Amino acid sequence: MSFDTIASYMPLLLQGALVTVQVTALSFVISTLLGLLLALMTVSKVAPVALAGRSIVNVIRGLPIIVQLFYIYFVLPEFGIDLTAFQAGVIGLGVAYSAYQAENFRAGIEAIDPGQVEAAESLGMKSAKVMRRVVLPQALRIALPPYGNTLVMMLKDSSLVSTITVAEMTRQGQLIAASTFDNLTVYTLVALLYLALSLPLTFMLRRVEKRFAIGGKR
Amino acid sequence: MITIEALHKKFGETPVLKGVDLRVERGEVICLIGPSGSGKSTLLRCINGLERYDDGIVEVLGTPVDRDKKSIHEIRTQVSMVFQRFNLFPHRSVLENVMEGPLHVQKRPLAQVREEAQALLDKVGLGHRGDAYPQQLSGGQQQRVAIARALAMKPKAILFDEPTSALDPELVGEVLKVMRNLAAEGMTMVVVTHEMGFAREVADKVCFLHDGRLVESGPPEQVLGAPEHPRTREFLRRILDSGDAP
Ligand SMILES: Nc1ncnc2c1ncn2[C@@H]1O[C@H](COP(=O)(O)OP(=O)(O)OP(=O)(O)O)[C@@H](O)[C@H]1O
Ligand SMILES: [Mg+2]
């Protein structure tokens, strides 16, 4: 494990790290938007909408993430939907995690005192505005800690897209290790690089949580 | 202003309101009294459509109250509500709580809304706490903010559901004082309360609700001073024994 070998591996691994960050960030955005939509569906008073929301969440949660990735990357082309490995990875991870996001958001929404909704309704607000101005701002604060945890999990689980050839960090490590047989150095570097991403992220999230807690400094 | 006729309401199979008739005229203060579970809150909540009802008429300013119709939002801007547990928005400052309705429902201009909200906070004695968050205030202060929030809508009437029941005894007075002032200014009010002193002093009419029926209504000196119905007498005796009345 000499300095020279490490230096020779680093460019590719850092390239991979960049892709890892991109995949994580994009799929996090997708999972957030889709998760929010699914959460709003599951708490809807319109029964068929709620049922549809719950069903989608249950199906997504019932499938291994890898199977979802394979499906999007290998099966969708048969229906004329061709995606690059990167696109398939981002969408697959985003969809897979939207179910967990939906559950987080739903728990937050259901934790809100019904008296809040009644107070908002009594001001003449329509239900969409009650949701937007009163329920969601409070629910999202409650959902913030699990939301942050989800981001860290997604950072780690972004390594799954290596299985569909996306050249993120784990994949780059595999490629280098396969050609050099230097497993020890390569995977130690990969592990350290994941920690270099996840530990600061975790630390940062704790601070954000504190800042946004209700009654906290704003 | 508010007309209720033969109002019936069931929760599942349990009848809770069994034919209630009540008229509230402009500027009137009506106190609703009655034992726990008699349906006071339910009656009040039917007036602004927080609760559905099964049969009968509920009208506000001539418009039927139906929580499934569009007109309900307009009705609610004209009839405000103050809750037992305040229900202030914890994620907004005191001033923002008061501004919420006029700004985001009635869409009135910000500068004007802010000025009015500040004036309302001054009026309830909390002009200096506009930047605080509700959870930093005492219960009595929170309830006064809730009253300011209700007033900010410029309502034609305000419904109060036991506004002082969740307060420590020493904080009840400050809220009742604000309500007394409102009554003196001619605000139309329907107040569910156990504060017999307040009812005697401020109410134009006291209505005694028992088991889903208004068994006795009239001026306070009659209903509280010389009740005709045995149920009313029994209820008042119990309240006096428990030391609730001043
Ligand atoms: N959402 C509900 N579902 C089922 N039953 C209810 C519901 N709300 C109220 N009830 C029942 O209806 C009856 C009347 O309730 P209501 O809250 O109107 O009484 P109240 O006179 O306001 O009593 P309190 O003085 O305790 O506030 C009670 O028996 C209560 O248990
Ligand atoms: Mg009640």
Please report whether residue A217 resides in a domain: no
Sequence-distant (6+) residues with CB within 8 A of B100 are A123, A133, B89, B92, B149
Interatomic CA distance for residues B203 and B39, integer angstroms = 20
Interatomic CA distance for residues A121 and A134, integer angstroms = 10
Q: Which residues of A touch B106 (CB under 8 A)?
A: 124
Kindly give the distance from the C-alpha atom of residue B193 to the centroid of ligand 1, in angstroms, as a whole number.
15
The 3-state DSSP class for residue B242 equals coil
Answer whether B42 contacts ligand 1 (Cβ < 6 A): yes
Please report whether residue A7 resides in a domain: yes
pLDDT digits over B178-219, tens only?
999 999 999 999 999 999 999 999 999 999 999 999 999 999
Q: What is the pLDDT of residue B67?
A: 87
Please report whether residue A122 resides in a domain: yes
The 3-state DSSP class for residue B72 equals helix
pLDDT digits over B62-108, tens only?
899 998 888 999 999 999 999 999 999 999 999 999 999 999 999 99
pLDDT digit string (tens) for chain A, length 218 residues? 688 889 999 999 999 999 999 999 999 999 999 999 999 999 998 999 999 999 999 999 999 999 999 999 999 999 999 999 999 999 999 999 999 999 999 999 999 999 999 999 999 999 999 999 999 999 999 999 999 999 999 999 999 999 999 999 999 999 999 999 999 999 999 999 999 999 999 999 999 888 887 654 44
> Is A126 at the interface with chain B, CB within 8 A?
yes
Please report whether residue B156 resides in a domain: yes
Please report whether residue B246 resides in a domain: no
Answer whether B193 contacts ligand 1 (Cβ < 6 A): no
Q: How many domains does chain A have?
A: 1
Structural domain of A159 = 3-212
Choice from B9, B40, B161, B192 to test ligand 1 binding pocket (greatest atom count within 8 A of CB): B40
pLDDT digits over B116-165, tens only?
999 999 999 999 999 999 999 999 999 999 999 999 999 999 999 999 99
Q: What is the pLDDT of residue A211?
A: 84
Q: What is the pLDDT of residue B241?
A: 78
The B205-210 sheet, strands edge to edge: B79-82, B157-161, B188-192, B29-33, B205-210, B213-218
Amino acid, single-letter form, for residue B117: A
Does B153 sit within 8 Å of A133, measured CB to CB?
no
Please report whether residue A151 resides in a domain: yes
CATH number at residue A82: 1.10.3720.10
For residues A123 and B246, the model is more confident at A123
How close B88 comes to chain A (CA, Å)?
7
Nearest to B171 by CA among B202, B125, B206: B125
| B55-60 and B2-11 beta bridge pairing | antiparallel
Beta strands in chain B (DSSP E): 2-11, 14-24, 29-33, 55-60, 63-64, 79-82, 157-161, 188-192, 205-210, 213-218
Interatomic CA distance for residues B235 and B239, integer angstroms = 6
Which of B41, B67, B104, B136 is the mutation pick for testing A, counting most A CBs within 10 A? B104
Q: Closest ligand to B50 CA?
A: 1
How close A142 comes to chain B (CA, Å)?
12
Structural domain of B68 = 2-241
Q: Other C-beta atoms within 10 Å of B237: how many?
A: 11
Does B91 sit within 8 Å of A138, measured CB to CB?
yes
CATH number at residue B89: 3.40.50.300
Q: Which residues of B touch A137 (CB under 8 A)?
A: 91
Please report whether residue A116 resides in a domain: yes
- The pTM of the full predicted model, rounded to 2 decimals, is 0.88
Please report whether residue B125 resides in a domain: yes
Q: Which residues of B touch A124 (CB under 8 A)?
A: 73-74, 76-77, 101, 105-106, 153
Average pLDDT over residues B35-48: 95
Burial class of residue A24 in the structure, from the number of CB atoms within 10 Å of its CB (0-12 exposed, 13-18 middle, 19+ buried) = buried
Q: How many domains does chain B have?
A: 1
Q: What is the pLDDT of residue B240?
A: 78
